Amino acid sequence: MTGATATAAPRTPSPPPPATARSAALAGTGVLLRFGLRRDRIRIPVWLLSLTLGTMLTANSLSTLYTTEAERASTAETMGSPAALATSGPRHYLTDYTFGSMMGHQMLGFTAVLVGIMSVLIVSRHTRAEEETGRAELVRSTVVGRHAQLAAALGVAVVANVALALLFAAGLAVMGIESIGWGGSLLYGFAHAAAGIVFAAVAAITVQITAHARGASGMALAVIGLAYALRATGDVGTDALAWLSPIGWVQRTYVYVDDRWWPVLLALAFAALLAAVAFPLSTRRDVGAGLRPTRLGRPAASDLLTRPVGFALRLHRGMLIGFGAGVFALGVMYGSILGDAEDMLKDLEEIQEAIEALGGATITESFASIIALILAIVASIYVVMAALRPRAEESAGRAEPLLATGLSRTRWVLSHVTVAAVGGVLLLAVAGFGFGIAGAAATGDNDLVGKLTWASIAYAPALWFTIGFAVALFGWVPRYGTLAWLIPVYSFVVGYLGQMLQFADWLNNLSPFGHVPQLPAADLEWAPLLVLTALAAGLVWLGLLGFRRRDLETK
C-alpha cells in the first residue's frame, strides 16, 4: 500500500528554464506595443513632422544666409568664443565650417534636447501615467507579463526615434545642399535617435522611483538639463565633462566632418545598461507605488492649503520651480553671448533686412528681441502643462472628491488658471532678468537689465491667450486638450525662423506671440496687448461655460 501510494504521488514540477521565465515576463509585449503606437498615432507624427520640418528649414536657412565661403569662415571665427561654444557645440566642427558641419555644430545638441523630451514623455505616458489612471492594473489582470508594459513603452520610444532618424536622413539628403550627403545625414539622424533612446531609458528608471507621472517626467527632464549643462561646460573647458553627457557623445560623432559612428554605439550600449537596471527595479515596488515612499503631509493643512488657489499652487509648485531655474539659466546663457551678437550677425544681409523692418534698431537690440521671444515660448510650455492640469486631475479621479464638496467647478478651474497665469508671468520675469544681468555683463550696458526684463514680460498676454485656448479645449473637447501644444510649436517655427526665411506676414499673425511688440527693438504698443488679454479672458470664460455643461469623467 505504501509502495502504491508512493508510486501515485504527483511529481514535483521542475522549475522552468530561464528562457521560459523571460518569455513569461514579456508576454503581451507585442500587443501592448501595437496598442501604444495606436494611441500615439497623432502625438508621435506631430513630434516627428515638427522636428523634421524645423531641421529642414534650418538647413535651408543656413544655405541661403551663408552663401560664400568667406561668410562661413567669418562665422566660424565668431563661433569660437566660449559663449558661442557653450550654446552650440565642440570646437572641432569649426575646422571645416561647411553647411553640414554648421548643422552638426549648431543644431545637433539643441535638437537632441527636444528629441530627449519627446522620448521621456512617451515612456512616462505609457508607464507611470497608466498606473496613475488605474488602466495599468486592468491590463495586468489579463495575460500580460510583469515586464511587458515597460518593454512596450520603450519599444514605442525606439520606434519613434528610429522613424525620426530616417526622416532626418531623407529630409536633409534630398535637399541637395553642398556637403550634406546621404552618409552624413544618416549619421545625423541616428545620432539624434541614440540620444533619444538614452533619455527614454533614463525615464524607464525615473518612473520606478516616484509614484507620479509629472514627478517622473520632471526627474528625467532634469537629467536632460544636466546633460546639456555638462556638454556646454565640456565644450568650453575640460573635454572630459562633455564625455559625461549623452548629448556630448552624439555631438562627438562630428557628423559631416569625420562621420564617426562609434559614439552612437556607445550611447545605445548605455541605454541598454539603463534599461537592464530599470526592469529589476520595477519588480521591487507595487503597481501604483514608487520606490521612493510618498511623504506624509502635515497633520493639519495650513490656511493657504485649504483654499483652492493655495491647493493648486501646491500641485504646481515643483514644476514652477523647475521651469524657473531652467528659464533663468537659459536667459543667462543667451545673455552671455549678447556682446558677440553684433560680430556674429553684422555681415548677414538677411539679418540686416530684418533689422530694417524693425525700424532701424541696433543688431544687439534685434537679437535680444528674438531671444525674448524664445524665452517666452519656453515659458509657454509651462503654461500649457499648467492649464491642462485640471484635465489630468479629472482623468486620475482626483477632481471628483474635490467637486463633491462645496467647491464649484468654476472656482476649481480658475484656481489652476490663476496659478498658470501668474506663474507664467513670474517665469517671464525670471528669464528676462537672467537675460538682462548676463547681457549687461557682456555688453557693459546696465540699462539692459530693465529693458530685457520688460521685453520678456511683454509676452504675458500671449501666454494668457495660450492658457485660454487650453482651457477652452478642456471645457468643450477635453480629449483634444493636447492640441494646445500647437501654439508653442507653431509660434516657435514662425517666430524664430520666419524672419530669416521670409515667411508671409499672415503666417506670423496667426500666432499670439506675433502680435507682441518686439521689445527692445520696437516701441511698446498697448493696443495688441489689451486685445490679446481680452481674447484670453473670453477663451477662459468659454472653457468654463463648456466645463459646467459637460459631464465629469468619473472613476
Closest CA to 255 of 365, 179, 341, 344: 179
Measure the CA angle with vertex 487, ends 485 and 489; round to 5°.
Answer: 70
DSSP symbol at 513: G
Closest CA to 100 of 247, 257, 250, 253: 257
Residues 6-11, mean pLDDT to the nearest whole number: 48
Please tell me the predicted confidence (pLDDT) of residue 358: 58
| Distance spanning both ends of the chain, measured CA to CA | 59
pLDDT digits (tens, 9 = 90+) for 174-183: 998 988 999 9
Q: Which of the residue ranges 1-5, 333-337, 450-454 would you say has the lowest mean pLDDT?
A: 1-5
Whether the CA torsion 177, 183, 189, 195 is positive or negative: it is: negative
Considering only CA atoms, which of 297, 295, 250 is closest in space to residue 271? 250
Query: In which band, very low, low, confident or very high, does the pLDDT at 254 lie, cut at 50, 70 and 90?
Result: very high
What is residue 3's predicted lDDT score, i.e. its pLDDT?
40
Residue 316 near residue 423 (C-beta atoms within 8 A): yes
Q: How confident is the model at residue 528 (pLDDT cuts 50, 70, 90)?
A: very high
Q: Is the pLDDT of residue 4 over 60?
A: no
User: Residue 10: is its pLDDT beyond 60?
Assistant: no
pLDDT band at 34 (very low <50, low <70, confident <90, very high): very high
**Residue 400 near residue 555 (C-beta atoms within 8 A):** yes
- CB-facing half-sphere around the CA of 161: CA atoms within 13 A: 33
Nearest Cα to 201, choosing from 127, 289, 263?
Answer: 127
What would the pLDDT profile of 428-479 be if each residue is shown by its tens digit? 999 999 999 988 888 888 888 999 999 999 999 999 999 999 999 999 999 8
Residues 532/512, Cβ–Cβ less than 8 Å: yes
Residues of the chain with pLDDT > 70, as a percent, come to 90
* Residue 550: DSSP 8-state: S
Exposure of 411 in the CB half-sphere (CA atoms within 13 A): 11
> What are 52-90's pLDDT values in tens digits?
988 888 888 788 878 888 888 888 877 777 767 777 889
Give the lowest-confidence range in 218-227, 492-501, 523-532: 492-501
What local confidence, expressed as pLDDT, does residue 357 receive? Answer: 62
**CA–CA separation, 512 and 494 (whole Å):** 11
What whole-number distance in Å separates Cα of residue 52 and Cα of residue 507? 19
What would the mean pLDDT of 142-149 be, rounded to a whole number? 88
Let me know: does 438 contact 336? Beta carbons within 8 Å. Answer: yes
Distances (CA, A) of 182 to 96, 107, 177, 187, 325: 19, 18, 11, 9, 40
Q: Can you tell me the distance from the alpha carbon of 59 to that of 63, in angstroms, rounded to the nearest whole number?
A: 6
Over range 113-122, report the average pLDDT.
90
Q: Please say if the pLDDT value at position 392 is more than 90.
A: no
Which three cell numbers, joined as nine digits, stand for 511?
500666432
CA dist., res. 262 & res. 271, Å (int): 14
Cβ-Cβ contacts under 8 Å for 405 (sequence gap 6 or more): none
Q: Which residue has the cell 539659466?
A: 329
Q: How does DSSP assign 227-261, residue by residue? A: HHHHHHHHHHS-HHHHTTSHHHHHHTT-TTTT---
Burial class for 1, CB neighbours closer than 10 Å (0-12, 13-18, 19+)? exposed
For position 18, what pLDDT does the model report? 56
pTM over 0.85: no
Sign of CA dihedral 39, 42, 44, 45: positive
What is the average per-residue pLDDT within 179-199? 95
Cβ atoms of residues 484 and 385 within 8 Å = no
Residue for grid cell 550677425: 345
pLDDT: which is higher, 109 or 533: 533
Sign of dihedral through CA atoms 108, 112, 113, 114?
positive
pLDDT tier at 7, thresholds 50, 70, 90 = very low
User: What's the pLDDT score for residue 1?
Assistant: 38
Residue 520 CA, distance from chain mean position: 27
Q: What is the mean pLDDT of residues 546-555?
A: 86
DSSP summary character for residue 497? I
Residue 354, C-alpha cell as written in the block = 530684418
Q: What is the mean pLDDT of the chain?
A: 86
| Structure confidence at residue 186 (pLDDT) | 96
d(CA 90, CA 105): 7
Cis peptide before 520 (omega within 30 of 0): yes
CB 337 within 8 A of CB 83: yes
Of residues 364 and 264, more confidence is placed in 264
Cβ atoms of residues 98 and 59 within 8 Å? no
Given this model, what pLDDT does residue 256 score?
94
Alpha carbons within 13 angstroms on the beta-carbon side of residue 193 total: 28
The span from the CA of 347 to the CA of 342, in Å, is 9
* Residue 400 clears pLDDT 60, i.e. is over it: yes
What does the block give as the cell for 539? 477663451
Contact 348, 65 (CB under 8 A): yes
Q: Determine the average pLDDT of the residues in 202-230.
A: 86
Give residue 32's Cα distance to chain centre. 25
Evaluate whether 491 touches 514 at the Cβ level (below 8 Å). Answer: yes
Identify the DSSP state of 94.
G
- Alpha-carbon distance of 340 to 334, in angstroms, equals 10
Higher pLDDT, 325 or 423: 423
The answer to whether the beta carbons of residues 164 and 253 sit under 8 Å apart is no
